Structure 1
Amino acid sequence: MLRLIPSVRPLLYAGVALGSLAAAPAFAQAVQVDDDTVIGDSETGDIVVTARRREERLLDVPVAVTAISANTLEKLQATDLSGIQGTVPNVNLVQGRGSTSNANIFIRGIGQPDALQTFDPAVGIYVDGVYMSRIQGALFGLFDVERVEVLRGPQGTLYGKNTVGGAVNVVTRKPDTVQFRAAGSATYGSYDQILLNGYVSAPLVTDKLALSLAGVYDKRDGVVIDPLTGRDYNDRNSWAARGILRATPSENVELILSGDYYKQRNAAALGQATAPLTGLLGFPVLKPAYPYGRTWNYRASTSLAPGQGQRVDHWGVSFTGNIELSDALTFTSITGYRKLSPDYYLDFDATELEVSDAFVGVRQEQFSQELQLKYDSGPLSGVFGLYYLNEDVTSHQEAYSDNLVYLAPAGPPLTFTRFIDDEQNTKSYAAFGQVTYDFTDQFSATAGLRYSKERKRYHRVTSTVTGGVTGGFYEYPNSLPAPFNGIDHVDFDAWTPTLSLSFKPTRDTLLYASASRGFKSGGFNGRVNGVGDVTQVIGGVPTIVPFFEPETVWTYEGGAKGSFLDGRVTMAATGFYSTYQDFQARVGGGSAGAFPVVNAGELRIWGIEFEAAVRPVREWSIRTSFGYLNADYEEFNDGRRAPAYSCNPTGSAIVCEPPFAPPISFSLASDYAIPLGNAGSLTLGGDARFVDKHYLSIDNRPGLIEDGYWLVNAFVQFDAAGGKYYLRGGVKNLTKSIYKTDGQEFSSIGNIQTAYYGDPRTWSVTAGFRF
């Protein structure tokens, strides 16, 4: 595995910076990672995005956004959203802990890795304008995607649910009301992978009505083997479908009805124990057959029985109406309903012992409505709107710890099961507006303001069965002492403004500066099993804090972007500075079994981002990106002065660094098409991505550190004459890098510290068509 040793890092800083400047660096806001130019075309055309909720040229948008086309997603061999990991600067997007469909997303060091339903995501995921409230099921496939837009920085004005880190906007392909279109592919690869994709779009009434249908089937054997049983884990087994009906009854009206369904049925996802496991209160030290500290070889054991895997059903419908009221006014309505039903068996300790296993069954549904009025006339343009979200989440959980609880150091363990039932309702309201005024053809200013208000209501009941005896009943909030026992709901609100100034020296260049504020609401501790989970030491006094407060972030940035040499070179650059306050952290408890959630303090984050897309000749494409991130805790109040892993053990010296904030992210991709005359063309391509050292837990546990890794992928593709048929062979993780993607820290339960890893080297062969 390739590692970046510390002495090499400064050379990479300098080399990447100089190389990027020499070859057209691209600060990551205005670059389409690739274009769909084919051999023989001389122009790439303008790239259009909807980052500001209206169609604009990417080069005109004073926002840090990267647009990744469907063509590029194919070249990256991306089958789901995690396939873009490492290609967008300062974006860490990986498979979330313990599940093949959870998304763990951090942008510029800001994210929320905990899948618990009482935490809101810090990075919003939107599909055709509809917000996805949960990170479960968010790592969906990309089978009918037109492009993916990644917006970095707080989205505090225009995007439906306020997010502090950024947004991932997935735009699907809409049916064509004039032409018939179809595409399909079949892939076979390592671990008996079978991947089938299909897409068809047909006009039902020419120029008036069209329908598209898309589907994907993805199955692969597990890459992790349990040597004690021979069973495999970390497999893939899912299928998904989407149908879109598009009507254009007149030139001024567009109506889009969309429905999608995702089904997952696979075994559990296993990681590796990275610390010695202990029984409750620290005794005895537990000794699994495959102890911690070993070199990861895709071998892990589990106490989960056959059939205790993972099931996800996720479906939704949306209706979008776009009505041009006049030459200057357009009205848009986006209505969405979604239902998510994951049932997960999880082995947190990642051994054949039952230190902490769990069943988590969640039932979530949401309804959202957004109304927009867009104005564009003369020097003034803008978007004004209202937003509403109503989300219900219920869960039933069972925690199994038959190897955790002991009566005495030398005594046998007691069987232990905890039963949990909880429910949460969230209602979110917002009103927003953003206007841009063009003072001249070159200079413009944009100002926006949003008011958000949320109410969260929470109730939880837990009980335990220890050694066959039922007890440990706890009800939140009723079991709290007065007056806290009546706090079953809490309200949050915030004003989030944005301001930007932009200057266009030429039509295809832009300079801008901006300031924006983001907000993520607070909530309740979804792991509260006793008063200790909502007790913090404030001023030396134990204090009950029944809920955690919102997070806020201010980000200031300046950027430049441009397209040169008739579109052959596209560049973008940005620098930013953020102050991130009251960040929400689940920290390892100072006592056994405690899971406090605190507003730990403040982060200071600054960085730079580069991107470039270069086409030296028609047949050759080069893409690169570089991100530097400097993130530090300015304040960390975790209330833990005694535990060894407090981030602020003395109250004055912070000893931790923020997790999931690699200082450097870098990528370089290239492909070259070799014309074969009347036979077609042969394309050779590949990409290399580097993600620097970063921590996988808030308190920087030694076993939950990724030292930095390279990923190298390559492909060769033959396109028949006319481009309708193709054959592709690809390899991912060519150099067999072994790298950690996520971590699970439950140190107050058996000293659990589990790391999860990326896939080994895999190969695939794909045959496909498109017309």
Structure 2
Amino acid sequence: MKSAFKRALITSAALSVTAMGLAAPAFAQDAAPEAAPVEDGTTVVVTARRRDETLKAVPIAVSSFSAEKLGRTGAPDITSLQQQTPNLTLQVARGSNSTLIAFIRGVGQQDPLWGFEPGVGLYVDDVYIARPQGAVLDIYDIQRIEVLRGPQGTLYGRNTIGGAVKYVTKPLGHETAFTAKAVLGSYNNQNLTLSGALPLGDTLTVGAAVASLKHDGYGKNLNTGAEHYNKDVLAYRLSADWTPTDDFTARFNYDNYTDNSAPRHGHRETVAKNAFGGTLYTGANAYIGLPTDSIYDTYAGIGDDNKVVNDGASATLEYRVNDTWTVKSITAVRKGRTDTVIDFDGTPRDALDVQAYYGDSQASQEFQVLYSGEHWSTVAGLYYLNSTAEGAFDTRLGTYDAYAGLGAIYAKFANGLTALTAGKVRTQSWAAFFDSSVRINDKLSFSIGGRYTEDHKTGTVYKANYYGRRSPAFGGTTFLTANPDLKTNYANDRTFSAFTPRVSVSYNFTGDLTGYASVSSGFKSGGFDMRGDASVTPNTVNGYKPEYVVTQEIGLKGSMFDDRLNFAADIFSSKYTDVQITRQTTVGSTVASQVENAGKANMKGAEFEGTFRFTPNLTASATIGYIDAEYEEFLSYNVTTGVTTNIAGAAKFQNTPEWTNSFGLTWRSQVAGGQLVIAPQASYRSGQQQFEFALPALDQPAFWLYDLGASWTAPSGHYKVGVYGRNLTDEEYRVGGYNFPANGFGNSVTAFYGPPKTFMVSLEYKY
């Protein structure tokens, strides 16, 4: 049945595209006015191409989610988008609370270590967020979120080869406004958000939004008694809009995010083993080395301290020179700091315990020139980024109790071995870009664009083993002249450049049915492996190369049956080359890391999003995503034999389920003079691997999630009451894991899980 459904979907999409032709892009002067998005999507305005266009006309595979749409089922943060977007994976990174892992159409980056680049770009009000720490953005005070699928290298540049996620905050407007929302729920959930805007005269409006987001842990650290999988976040934004003339506007933003949630140590999936393959914990303590009864519990022994702080400021200036020309400047600075601990083996044993910090800073400047004429519109600009990412972590490699009785000179060995990994990467990137659309006639139009990007990276990497519980980076001391056991110590720099073009042709069949065909490209920058062990993989000092994606896509968007059906469909085929693969391999008493440009891959698939209005009060929605992603070549260096072989037949794409589907209903009715909205939703993800190679203990089988929301808005519109249930069947599903199966590391295979069944009640007041 699955194969028949797959064939039917692809055949339907292919027939639709064959019948459709190619759609006319909306030009700036024809764009719909800024309006609240409506259920059928006909008036939704997006900025996927850096100018206002209607969603159903823009020749890109883009999903748009209004605040109202996301609020129907109580979506807490941007990871909820993967339940309603084809071929999208957005998850909280393994071992963290607020670090984002993003994949679109098979392209992304699972490892959030400093120096590694994401494959999906994240933007907040057109400001690029370079690092994934603190990037699991909570949904509050937003206007909409856009998800752009496929390479966005022309307008968004490096590291958007999978796509981009655009988080657009709510405009301040020119009237006094105030919103307060309180949410209470399962696990002592206590969320409070406040936002408002205040005009100060005719030209200046100031605004603020603050969110205090808390809930108790879904589990507990059974060793320390601390909460596990809890949340303790405080975030706020300050804004000001200044419009001294009709032709000039300026917006200033400052945001701050602080996460004091406890660290996540994972759930042990296997029995702990000692170095000889026997059971590590026996007798009365045998339970410590077994998987805990609750997937959210742990016996981790390293501690429960964790803190993430991010903040940033931006200024967006826009001047309308005349009716056709506009210039725009976007200036931004950001910085972040993470201090955390991770217990990889999930037991009180002093092994595979990690103490770490991450630090990053970035400054960016973008200039845009926009032209809007009767038959031609364009955006062109220059972009500059200067960023630094650094960090260090100690990894406990185990204790050496055998040395304890051999005299004072050897007593220091009883504290075991600690591996220090530290480094820094500075990136200076500049780019020049343009994207132009030309209308040939009322039916036919085309667009062409390109971007030249040049990255200069300077990397330093240090890796060494120290005797003792801590390295000098975390307050330890160095013992003996032979210590440390130096593995890596180098500094190097490289320059990477690429030209990423995009071409599309569009045709407008009717006012309600449009289509497009496009070829787009993107690249993700190369760099240096911060974990690289030069004693095992000496080529690590040379860094790794960029990876590239070229995608061909045809799509159909529009409405039918008197606007009762609104939909967007596309089929795509991508060539993926120089794929960057991050691998860690156990070698003796250490773990060797390597980043390989493994080779080539092909991805092809189809996507559908649609809503159907049965009655004025009842609407159904559906999304269907299918992808067939295969490695054509996977060249891997074996650190044990020193031989490079092609293992494409054994490898699969990680975090890329073949099917990502969702189905929902929205029913509206007038009750007691107000509006009642009930919205059930079901989402499906087929089985997926956590890594390129199958791991039955960690890989996630297919699963469904079911959510339900019900809200009532008072006749005045000032009050809204909501009741929400998420993951109603209490599905247990993995979102990440670590694999250190060697007995010397305690046979440590640990997994991280998505939230359990939760219920919430909300009360919202708007003025």
How does the TM-score come out when normalised to structure 2? 0.89
1:493 to 472, 490, 497: 497
1:763 to 746, 759, 762: 759
Per the TM alignment, residue 20 of structure 1 is displaced from its structure 2 partner at its CA by: 11
Distance 2:121 2:632 in 1: 25
Per the TM alignment, residue 355 of structure 1 is displaced from its structure 2 partner at its CA by: 2.4
Distance 1:670 1:275, change over 3 A: same
**What is the correspondence of 1:734-753 to structure 2 with a 5 Å cutoff?**
734-746=728-740, 750=745, 751-753=747-749
2:519 corresponding residue in structure 1: 515
Per the TM alignment, residue 379 of structure 1 is displaced from its structure 2 partner at its CA by: 1.1
Q: Secondary structure at the match of 1:687?
A: strand
Cα deviation, 1:4-33, whole Å, max 9, x if unaligned, reads xxxx644664798899999xxx9xx99x9x
2:328 to 332, 350, 355: 332
Distance 1:377 1:122, change over 3 A: same
Letter aligned with residue 635 of structure 1: E
- The answer on whether the counterparts of 1:187 and 1:766 sit within 8 Å (CA) in structure 2 is yes
Letter aligned with residue 365 of structure 1: S
Distance 1:544 1:214, change over 3 A: closer
Distance 1:342 1:124 in 2: 21
Q: Percent identity?
A: 31
Alignment of 1:252 onto 2:247: yes
1:681 to 655, 672, 675: 675
1:368 corresponding residue in structure 2: 364
Letter aligned with residue 604 of structure 1: N
- The answer on whether the counterparts of 2:727 and 2:756 sit within 8 Å (CA) in structure 1 is yes
Q: Secondary structure at the match of 1:489?
A: strand
1:448 corresponding residue in structure 2: 449
1:583 to 579, 585, 596: 579
Per the TM alignment, residue 269 of structure 1 is displaced from its structure 2 partner at its CA by: 1.2
**What is the correspondence of 1:348-363 to structure 2 with a 5 Å cutoff?**
348-363=344-359
Cα deviation, 1:157-204, whole Å, max 9, x if unaligned, reads 001544211000111111112x22221210111111100111112222
2:194 to 194, 198, 210: 198
Cα deviation, 1:369-396, whole Å, max 9, x if unaligned, reads 0011111112111111100000012223
Alignment of 1:241 onto 2:236: yes
Per the TM alignment, residue 276 of structure 1 is displaced from its structure 2 partner at its CA by: 5.1
1:607 corresponding residue in structure 2: 605
- The answer on whether the counterparts of 1:76 and 1:84 sit within 8 Å (CA) in structure 2 is no
Distance 1:741 1:758 in 2: 6
Per the TM alignment, residue 652 of structure 1 is displaced from its structure 2 partner at its CA by: 6.0
- The answer on whether the counterparts of 1:447 and 1:498 sit within 8 Å (CA) in structure 2 is yes
- The answer on whether the counterparts of 2:580 and 2:596 sit within 8 Å (CA) in structure 1 is yes
Q: Secondary structure at the match of 2:85?
A: coil
**What is the correspondence of 1:95-494 to structure 2 with a 5 Å cutoff?**
95-177=92-174, 179-206=175-202, 208-275=203-270, 277=272, 286-287=280-281, 289-291=287-289, 297-305=295-303, 308-403=304-399, 415-466=416-467, 469=479, 471-474=483-486, 476-478=488-490, 488-494=492-498
Deviates more, 1:723-732 or 1:223-232: 223-232
Distance 2:689 2:669 in 1: 43
1:616 corresponding residue in structure 2: 614
Aligned pairs, number: 728
Distance 1:319 1:746, change over 3 A: farther
Distance 1:210 1:422 in 2: 43
- The answer on whether the counterparts of 1:160 and 1:387 sit within 8 Å (CA) in structure 2 is no
Distance 1:703 1:735 in 2: 22
Deviates more, 1:43-52 or 1:465-474: 465-474
Alignment of 1:713 onto 2:711: no
Per the TM alignment, residue 58 of structure 1 is displaced from its structure 2 partner at its CA by: 1.1
Per the TM alignment, residue 574 of structure 1 is displaced from its structure 2 partner at its CA by: 0.3
Per the TM alignment, residue 423 of structure 1 is displaced from its structure 2 partner at its CA by: 1.7
Distance 1:18 1:230 in 2: 56
- The answer on whether the counterparts of 1:81 and 1:139 sit within 8 Å (CA) in structure 2 is yes
How does the TM-score come out when normalised to structure 1? 0.88
- The answer on whether the counterparts of 1:279 and 1:406 sit within 8 Å (CA) in structure 2 is no
- The answer on whether the counterparts of 1:197 and 1:217 sit within 8 Å (CA) in structure 2 is yes
Alignment of 1:58 onto 2:93: no
- The answer on whether the counterparts of 2:578 and 2:598 sit within 8 Å (CA) in structure 1 is yes
- The answer on whether the counterparts of 1:624 and 1:669 sit within 8 Å (CA) in structure 2 is yes
Cα deviation, 1:456-512, whole Å, max 9, x if unaligned, reads 11113344332584623537544xxxxxxxx61111001111111010112232111
Distance 2:513 2:402 in 1: 68
Letter aligned with residue 726 of structure 2: K
- The answer on whether the counterparts of 1:497 and 1:517 sit within 8 Å (CA) in structure 2 is yes
Distance 2:717 2:317 in 1: 35
Distance 1:687 1:121 in 2: 30
Distance 1:137 1:453, change over 3 A: same
2:698 to 697, 704, 711: 704
Cα deviation, 1:616-664, whole Å, max 9, x if unaligned, reads 2222232210000111111111122979xx9x99646621211111000
Distance 1:279 1:497, change over 3 A: farther
Letter aligned with residue 344 of structure 1: T
Per the TM alignment, residue 552 of structure 1 is displaced from its structure 2 partner at its CA by: 0.5
Letter aligned with residue 449 of structure 1: G
- The answer on whether the counterparts of 2:380 and 2:435 sit within 8 Å (CA) in structure 1 is yes
Distance 1:735 1:531, change over 3 A: same
Cα deviation, 1:697-734, whole Å, max 9, x if unaligned, reads 12222212100111101122222212221111111110
Alignment of 1:85 onto 2:97: no
- The answer on whether the counterparts of 2:528 and 2:541 sit within 8 Å (CA) in structure 1 is no
Distance 2:437 2:610 in 1: 27
Distance 1:406 1:730, change over 3 A: farther
Cα deviation, 1:223-259, whole Å, max 9, x if unaligned, reads 1223344432111001111111011111111110011
2:408 corresponding residue in structure 1: none
1:638 corresponding residue in structure 2: 636
- The answer on whether the counterparts of 1:675 and 1:681 sit within 8 Å (CA) in structure 2 is yes
Letter aligned with residue 334 of structure 2: R
Q: Secondary structure at the match of 2:636?
A: coil
Distance 2:84 2:361 in 1: 32
Deviates more, 1:289-298 or 1:691-700: 289-298
Per the TM alignment, residue 123 of structure 1 is displaced from its structure 2 partner at its CA by: 0.3
Cα deviation, 1:121-162, whole Å, max 9, x if unaligned, reads 000000011001111110021211100000001111001544
Distance 1:652 1:419, change over 3 A: closer
Distance 1:231 1:65, change over 3 A: same
Per the TM alignment, residue 407 of structure 1 is displaced from its structure 2 partner at its CA by: 8.0
Deviates more, 1:611-620 or 1:83-92: 611-620
1:483 corresponding residue in structure 2: none
Per the TM alignment, residue 290 of structure 1 is displaced from its structure 2 partner at its CA by: 4.5
2:565 to 547, 565, 569: 569
Distance 1:766 1:591, change over 3 A: same
Q: Secondary structure at the match of 1:73?
A: helix
1:695 to 673, 676, 689: 689
- The answer on whether the counterparts of 1:461 and 1:476 sit within 8 Å (CA) in structure 2 is yes
Per the TM alignment, residue 303 of structure 1 is displaced from its structure 2 partner at its CA by: 1.0
Aligned-CA RMSD value: 3.1
Cα deviation, 1:574-628, whole Å, max 9, x if unaligned, reads 0000111111112232623211111111111110000002222222232210000
Distance 2:400 2:448 in 1: 56
Per the TM alignment, residue 354 of structure 1 is displaced from its structure 2 partner at its CA by: 2.9
Distance 1:474 1:403, change over 3 A: closer
Distance 1:597 1:690 in 2: 32
Distance 1:362 1:588 in 2: 20
- The answer on whether the counterparts of 1:279 and 1:404 sit within 8 Å (CA) in structure 2 is no
- List gaps (5 residues or longer) in structure 1: 1-7, 479-486, 536-542
Distance 1:380 1:169 in 2: 26
Letter aligned with residue 668 of structure 1: F
- List gaps (5 residues or longer) in structure 2: 26-31, 405-412, 470-478
